[in-house]
């Protein structure tokens, strides 16, 4: 089965692998697709994409970012994952730069993060939902509110999620018509024991998730 990892950090934010080292490791791990999702920046994306193209590596890179948003009455920041922001590949560098600037100059609310990514034709997903220290009922309410703002997915498959929790988040996603995304939240040495693609060792994220995201992305055009 083809597997993926859609939540990864590099030295462009707080990871310990450079974008090129990350790509090499993903190829070594035989992942079919990855998304680099550094915190509030996309500075490592172009370097990784150029390296994949020039080296003709057998891996797909989805341009992404993890946006740190505040508000909605939450004590902790809400992290919104952004994907597929490079609709027009001829203007990719310009688009990637502008997304970062637009968010930095905004109110940085979850609603604004979702709006900015949507304006650039991208998809958004709520990152690591259990890390907001909310009950499942509270998370259901939060996900519903974010869905009403245009959120398109939930990171149901995540390093620390047990099977039962994954199923609960899948049910919430279905309830609100959202996509399922998944990622390890790999940081290299900064998160010991969390490996690329596998989390703590037994996580599996199927490539079918990327197909569903691509379909949704096309539907939004």
Domains of the chain: 4-219 (3.20.20.140)
For every residue of 10-31, which 3-state class applies, written as one string? CCCCCCCCCHHHHHHHHHHCCC
CB 161 within 8 A of CB 169: yes
Which neighbouring-strand residues pair with 183?
158
Residue-level pLDDT at 87: 63
Residue-level pLDDT at 93: 78
Sheet with 4-8: strands ordered across? 4-8, 33-36, 60-69, 78-83, 123-126, 153-158, 179-183
Whole-angstrom distance, CA of residue 44 vs CA of residue 48: 6
**Average pLDDT per run of 10 along the chain, which is 221 residues long?**
97 98 98 98 94 97 96 85 80 83 94 94 96 96 97 98 98 98 98 97 97 86 57
Residue-level pLDDT at 85: 85
Quote the pTM value: 0.95
Residue-level pLDDT at 49: 94
Whole-angstrom distance, CA of residue 182 vs CA of residue 144: 19
Which is nearest to 150 in space by CA: 118, 174, 193, 182?
118
Task: Name the phi and psi angles at 78, rounded to 5.
Answer: -100, 125
Contacts of 21 (CB under 8 A, 6+ apart): 10
């Amino acid at each position: 089965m083809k597997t993926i990892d859609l939540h990864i950090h590099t030295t462009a934010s707080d990871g310990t692998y450079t974008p090129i080292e990350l790509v090499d490791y993903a190829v070594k791990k035989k992942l079919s697709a990855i998304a680099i999702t550094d915190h509030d920046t996309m500075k490592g994306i172009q370097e990784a994409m150029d390296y994949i193209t020039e080296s003709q590596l057998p891996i797909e890179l989805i341009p992404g970012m993890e946006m740190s948003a505040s508000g909605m009455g939450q004590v902790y920041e809400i992290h919104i994952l952004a994907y597929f922001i490079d609709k027009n590949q001829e203007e990719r560098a310009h688009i990637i730069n502008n997304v970062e600037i637009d968010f930095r100059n905004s109110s940085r609310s979850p609603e604004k993060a979702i709006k900015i990514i949507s304006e650039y034709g991208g998809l958004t997903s709520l990152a690591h939902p259990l890390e907001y220290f909310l009950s499942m009922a509270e998370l259901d309410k939060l996900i519903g509110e974010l869905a009403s703002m245009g959120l398109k997915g939930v990171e149901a498959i995540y390093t620390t999620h047990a099977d039962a929790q994954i199923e609960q988040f899948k049910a919430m996603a279905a309830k609100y018509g959202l996509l399922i995304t998944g990622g390890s939240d790999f940081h290299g040495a900064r998160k010991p024991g969390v490996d690329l693609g596998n989390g703590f060792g037994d996580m599996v994220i199927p490539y079918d998730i990327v197909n569903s995201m691509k379909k949704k992305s096309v539907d939004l055009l």
